[in-house]
Chains A and B, each alone.
Chain A
Amino acid sequence: MRIRLDVVSPGKKVKIIMVEGGVRCRQCLAEMGVYPGEMLKVIRSAPFAGPILVEANGYRFILGRGMAAKVIVEEMD
């Protein structure tokens, strides 16, 4: 099922299907390794609709809700 990355609950692994948003947003995300086909793991989310902490390929980064909402993913088992 395709969902947006900002609603994925912590601990879940996801596969990136598509990155929406403008060229700049796509490029910023690409620099962090957010490409279609790649896997991500959501580690935790900050309260008060704060950002999420994501793990990709051995490193972690913080992703604001707004940006996370632009990443379409599929949950893996």
Chain B
Amino acid sequence: MRIVLVGQPNCGKSTIFNYLSGYKAVASNFPGTTVKYTASKLYINSHLCECIDLPGTYSLIASDAAEAETRKFLLNESFDTIINVLDASLLSRSLELTLELLELRKPMMVVLNMIDEAERKGIHIDAEHLSSILGVPVVKTIGYKGQGLTEMVRTALQVAKKQMPSNPIALSKDIETVVKKLTEDVAKVASQLRLPARFLALKLLQKDKIFEERVAEIAPELSSKIKAAQRQLEITHGRPSDVVISSERHALAMNIYEEVVQIVRTPHPDIRDKIDNILMHKFWGYIFLALIFYGFFTLVFKVGSHIEEPLMAIFDQLLAKLKTCLPPSSLTYVIVEGTIQGIAGGIGIVLPYLVPFLFGLAILEDSGYLPRVAFLVDSFMHHIGLHGKSIIPFLLGYGCSVPAVMATRILESERDRFITAILATLIPCSARTVIILGLVSYYLGPVYAIGVYLLNLLVVAIAGKILSTIYSEVTPGLLLEVPTYRIPAFKTIWVKTWYRLKEFVLIAWPILIIGSIVLGILQYFHLDKAINQLLSPLTLLLGLPIAVGTTLIFGILRKELSLIMLLQALGTKKVLTVMSKTQVMTFTIFVVFYIPCMATIAALWREIGLKKTLLAVSFSFLIACLLGMVSRFLGPLFL
């Protein structure tokens, strides 16, 4: 049995899905967290169910790539029940999607989620009455508390068992006549496309490009009939036919809302709205933006360095002991040493910074602050040819480039997606943060680390300017819902941190240990020299020790490998004894910008295609070389 969760962005689908599946989707407090659908198998009353969490969509007219995913799924895949999740506190707007879903004629139920939020606003909803109007079961829930979810699952099973298709609700008489007529005309094409005829007719009246093109392909003779129907609505209503249909649905949703809702009291003035007076203020907003991110990174560094030093001391002792047990010139020693260094790299260097970083990022995401950042930076983003929404992939990029690249799906135009994806990979992800903190901050001081971040922002801005000049097309502009602030639930934050950390522990860490052993063996047989020789034109150009050549190759596998491999390649943890400050800076800058890691390249390939991915890779390599050389020659003046 297959159940799909559909709803508008930020209505709590992922929270419900997580509750059902034991935490698998990443939920956040900003619209567009789920950009790809997540599926999970679970047993309900000994029935094996596949539950699918679709990206949020405001309507079944796709305006960005994530919404297109939802529509494609609903129209092409087979499933047994739609669970339409609504934010009960935004009932009238949420009902517009529900009305559209009813047109699909599939077994369906409605979930009024966040009912506590609605009560707070003084909205009381008569669920039974709503159910009788819509002709589908309605259940009230509070997703994050798990309240009402058992009832929801029970109802979903019943709906799936009965297989009663939903029934569309009639529009006003004159519009209905036009719709009915067109429905008959397109019936044959609709069955060819395997769509409900009425759904297709409505989409054609709404001037949906994709359907217009498809119909024009198979049945060009219908074009005059479609045009005539559109014109008829335009003449009688004095508005474009797409506006007629969407306004009609809007009015219908409002009517239903008024019938089922009782406003029991005026909403309490909410303290949370007051917060925006500061955080979105034209002066204080920016001050707090800077403070929040400054505080965030210094906290991560403070926590990280406190844990790192004692941990590394333990491993140093262990390695010293090893030298007394095994002859340092044997192959066994090299392998054991490589293993210990690989494990140490994970525990001692990466984890202390990664855990607080991911934890903090999760708090920022769930609090609802990120859309406010989009508001503050929109005008700056226009300077680099993008708009405010692109800041969300950028910020996610500080965590990991892969979700950042995927998050570009929340953008409307292909050009914006492509430029944002390339720029997002230039942002130092948590792995590169570890390198910046572990090398620059540790050996040169935190001020220099902040310098690297600022330089990075400058480079991203210039690169954005260059790309948007090459691909000069006007960005569609910002339109983004601003959710209410929420105090993040500890459990979701922790689960989200763990979910992202698992990626490191299960994939990166083993590679790190194996890589460390491989490097040891290469050194044992003096093969690393050959690789270093091969890369010597590059290392010489950057003025780096020849020995760092191999580490750059490992860095393409996983960015954090560069740092750990560096320590091993140099044969010491005291980097400054073998590298000058300038070299440390040059190495870091080069590693931050050069070629994205394998996982990111794969994500880019999927999102923007091979050609543009190759462009992105060479672009980043070029930037890295250029900045590396600048650092090499300017470094001695400042460091």
By a beta-carbon cutoff of 8 Å, the part of chain A in contact with chain B is: 19, 23-33, 35-37, 43-51, 53, 57-67
Determine if B223 is an interface residue (Cβ-Cβ < 8 Å): no
- How far is B243's CA from A19's CA once the two chains are assembled, in angstroms? 9
Residue contact A28 to B380, C-beta cutoff 8 Å = no
With A62-B375, A62-B378 already in contact, the answer to whether A27 and B59 are too (CB < 8 A) is: yes
Look across to chain A and name the residue whose beta carbon is closest to the beta carbon of B375. Answer: A62
Q: Which residue of A lies closest to B257 (CB)?
A: A57
- Give the interface segment out of B439-447, B460-468, B474-482, B572-580: B474-482
Smallest CB-CB A-B distances: 4 pairs: A64-B478, A31-B58, A64-B477, A50-B379
CB distance from B372 to the nearest CB of A (A): 9
**What mask results when residues 270 to 281 of chain B are scored 1 for a CB within 8 Å of chain A, else 0?**
000000100010
Bound CA span A33–B545, Å: 61
- Nearest to B412 among chain A residues (CB) is A28
Given A30-B250, A50-B379, decide whether A62 and B371 contact each other with a Cβ distance below 8 A: yes
Residues of A within 8 A of B476 (CB): 24-25, 28, 67
Stretch at the interface among B87-95, B133-141, B143-151, B490-498: B87-95
Expressed in whole angstroms, the Cα–Cα distance for A35 and B378 within the complex equals 24
Contact of A30 among B89, B90, B243, B388 (CB under 8 A): B243
Contact B388 A58 (CB under 8 A): no
How many residues on B have C-beta within 8 angstroms of the other chain's C-beta atoms?
Answer: 42
Collect the chain B residues with CB atoms within 8 Å of residue A33's CB: 93, 250
Contact partners of B282 in chain A: CB under 8 A: 44-47
Q: Which A residues lie within 8 Å of B478 (CB)? A: 51, 62-64, 67
Please give, as numbers and ranges, the residues of chain A lying within 8 Å of B529 by CB-CB distance: none
Q: Which has the most chain B C-beta neighbours within 10 Å: A32, A50, A64, A65?
A: A64
Confirm or deny: B247 has a beta carbon within 8 angstroms of a beta carbon on chain A: yes
> In the bound complex, what is the Cα–Cα distance between A44 and B399 (angstroms)?
31
Please indicate the chain A residues that have their CB under 8 angstroms from the CB of B378 in the complex: 46, 50-51, 62, 64
Closest B residue to A61 using CB positions: B481
Say whether B415 faces chain A, with CB atoms less than 8 Å apart. Answer: no
- Of B59, B240, B280, B376, which contacts A31 at CB under 8 A? B59
- List residues of chain B with CB within 8 A of the CB of A27: 59, 61, 63, 206, 242, 246
Interface residues of B in 187-216 (CB under 8 A from A): 206-207, 209
Contacts of A61 on B, CB cut-off 8 Å? 479-482
With a cutoff of 8 Å between Cβ atoms, the chain A residues found around residue B161 in the complex are none
Q: Is the CB of A23 within 8 A of B240?
A: yes
Name 22 interchain pairs, CB-CB below 8 A, sorted by A: A26-B240, A26-B243, A26-B246, A27-B61, A27-B242, A27-B246, A29-B479, A31-B61, A47-B282, A48-B380, A51-B379, A53-B375, A58-B89, A59-B90, A59-B93, A59-B481, A59-B482, A60-B482, A61-B480, A62-B482, A64-B477, A67-B477
Given A46-B376, A51-B388, A53-B482, also A35-B246 (CB < 8 A) = yes
Q: How far is the CA of A26 from the CA of B280 in the complex (A)?
A: 27
The interface residues of chain B lying within 8 Å CB-to-CB of A58 are: 89-90, 121
A61 to B8 alpha-carbon distance, docked (Å)? 14
Question: Nearest Cβ in chain A — how far from B262, in angstroms?
Answer: 15
Residues on B with beta carbons closer than 8 Å to the beta carbon of A57: 90, 92-93
Determine whether the beta carbon of B374 is less than 8 Å from that of A62: yes
Query: In the bound complex, how far is the Cα of B375 from the Cα of A26, in angstroms?
Result: 21
Could you tell me if B207 and A23 are in contact, using CB atoms closer than 8 angstroms? yes
A49 to B379, Cβ gap below 8 A? yes
Minimal beta-carbon separation of B98 from chain A (angstroms) = 14
Given contacts A31-B58, A36-B247, contact A23 B242 (CB under 8 A): yes
Contacts of A49 in B (CB 8 A): 379
Query: What is the distance, in angstroms, from A12's C-beta to the closest C-beta of chain B?
Result: 17
Is B376 touching A50 in the complex (CB atoms < 8 A)? yes
Q: With CB as the reference atom, state the residue of chain B lying closest to A33.
A: B93
- A60:B481 contact, CB within 8 angstroms: yes
| Residues of B close to A51: CB separation below 8 A | 375, 378-379, 388, 478
B481 near A32: Cβ-Cβ < 8 Å: yes
Q: Which of B384-414 contact A (CB under 8 A)?
A: 387-388, 412
Q: Which residues of A contact B243 (CB under 8 A)?
A: 19, 26, 30, 35-36
**B239 adjacent to chain A (CB < 8 Å):** yes
Chain A residue at minimum C-beta to C-beta distance from B58 = A31
Docked CA distance A23–B59 (Å): 14
